[in-house]
Amino acid sequence: MNGANILFYLLAAMILGSGLLAVTTRQLFRAAIYLLFSLIGMAGMYFWLQYEFIAAVQVVVYVGGITVLIIFSIFLTQQAGEKMLVKKTGQQIFAAIAAFCGFALVMIQIVQNNFTATKNLSLSPSVTNIGNQMLGVDKGGYALPFEVVSILLLAALIGSIVIALRTPTQTS
Amino acid sequence: MEPGLYHLLFISAALFFIGVYGFLTRRNLIAMLMSIELILNSVNLNFIAFNKYVWADKLDGLFFTIFVIAIAAAEAAVAIAIIINLTKNFQSIDVEETEEMKY
């Protein structure tokens, strides 16, 4: 048991523990903070896998962007200190059984499958390689999806402004 | 035990179904959005794990992760715009109280 393995299990416990708390706690703001810790643990897991660029993107977009957006919208929409209403106990038990059965099914499939790693020379996920392939227009390049995603982001930006600016009198 | 592909797939599957459980049990729209973020994160971890341990000669899993992150950001922005609009119209974001489109 060396240091890297201990770090892996600590990160796994952080991701799963705070993820579980984020979906079970009754207070919405605490759920957002637990979600933040789960996302930070995920960024740490990307660092552990030596995908530094993805880890940096995770920290910038999820931890710095989406979580702040969620906390901001909690402040805009919730009363402070109010506990969330819960669903009926029967529905909760059914959801837990459904989630557990799905998890068991997926894990059975994973354990039975034998994944064979490729024999080819590995390509390092460095920023140079990522950038060359991301904007490449030859075979295997991702220039077209890159442009499509940029159009999608622009459409989402304009769309969210239009939706959020609509006044209640127009809709009712 | 040396952590490998199966450990990462276990974490990813567990996080996915934690997200599914949260999505099924929450009544608050923001909490449901958080569950969706957990699900998308587990998918990202899956892509990265397969890229590292099975197809290390390509970067395709990494690109899928980048695009999933971009689309998740767009989705969160639109969802929060809808939530803010819903608060203006109904003064509540509980999914069982906003049932204007139900019938």
The stretch A130-158 carries a mean pLDDT of 90
The stretch A87-101 carries a mean pLDDT of 90
Q: Which of A30, A64, A85 is the last residue before a domain boundary?
A: A85
Quickly state the pLDDT bin for B89 (edges 50, 70, 90).
Answer: confident
The residues, ordered by sequence, that sit 6+ positions from B83 with a Cβ below 8 Å of its Cβ are: A73, A77, B29, B30, B33, B93
What confidence score (pLDDT) does residue A40 get?
95
A11 and A79 both lie in a single domain: yes
pLDDT at A172 over 70: no
Q: Which chain B residues touch A32 with a CB distance below 8 Å?
A: 30, 34
The residues, ordered by sequence, that sit 6+ positions from A35 with a Cβ below 8 Å of its Cβ are: A18, A19, A22, A67, A70, B34, B37, B38
Q: Shortest CA distance to B71 belongs to which of A62, A133, A131?
A: A62
Q: Where are the domains of chain B?
A: 5-90
Instruction: Give the whole-angstrom CA distance, residue A69 versus residue A41.
Output: 19
Instruction: Give B41-70 pLDDT, tens digit per residue.
Output: 999 999 999 999 998 888 888 999 999 999
Q: Which of A63, A85, A107 is the last residue before a domain boundary?
A: A85
Q: Shortest CA distance to A160 belongs to which of B100, B75, B4, B101?
A: B75
Instruction: Give B17-46 pLDDT, tens digit per residue.
Output: 999 999 999 888 889 999 999 999 999 999
Q: Shortest CA distance to A46 belongs to which of A34, A38, A56?
A: A56
A79 and A155 both lie in a single domain: no
What confidence score (pLDDT) does residue A42 get?
94
Boundaries of domain holding A144:
126-172
pLDDT at A168 over 60: no
A70 interfacial to chain B (CB closer than 8 Å)? yes
Within a domain: residue A110? no
Grouping H, G, I as helix, E, B as strand and the rest as coil, residue B28 is strand
Region at A50 (left for phi over 0; alpha for psi -120 to 50; beta for the rest): left
Residue type, position A165, single letter:
L
A49 vs A170, residue with greater confidence:
A49
Q: Shortest CA distance to B41 belongs to which of A130, A57, A106?
A: A57
Within a domain: residue A78? yes
| Region of poorest pLDDT, from A23-37, A117-131, B5-19 | A117-131
Interface of B with A in 40-99 (CB under 8 A): 41, 44-45, 48-59, 62-63, 65-67, 69-78, 80-85, 87-89, 93-94
pLDDT at A11 over 90: yes
The stretch A138-158 carries a mean pLDDT of 91
The residues, ordered by sequence, that sit 6+ positions from A71 with a Cβ below 8 Å of its Cβ are: A29, A32
The ipTM assigned to this model is 0.90
Backbone angles phi, psi at A64, to 5 degrees: -90, -25
Report the share of chain A in percent with pLDDT over 90. 55
What confidence score (pLDDT) does residue A84 get?
76
pLDDT at A49 over 80: yes
The residues, ordered by sequence, that sit 6+ positions from B6 with a Cβ below 8 Å of its Cβ are: A110, A111
Instruction: Give the whole-angstrom CA distance, residue A113 versus residue A103.
Output: 15
B3 vs A7, residue with greater confidence:
A7
B24 interfacial to chain A (CB closer than 8 Å)? yes
Q: Which CATH code fits B5-90?
A: 1.10.287.3510
Nearest CA in chain A to B14: A103
Instruction: Give A15-28 pLDDT, tens digit per residue.
Output: 999 999 999 998 88
| Region of poorest pLDDT, from A35-49, A56-70, A101-115, A157-171 | A157-171
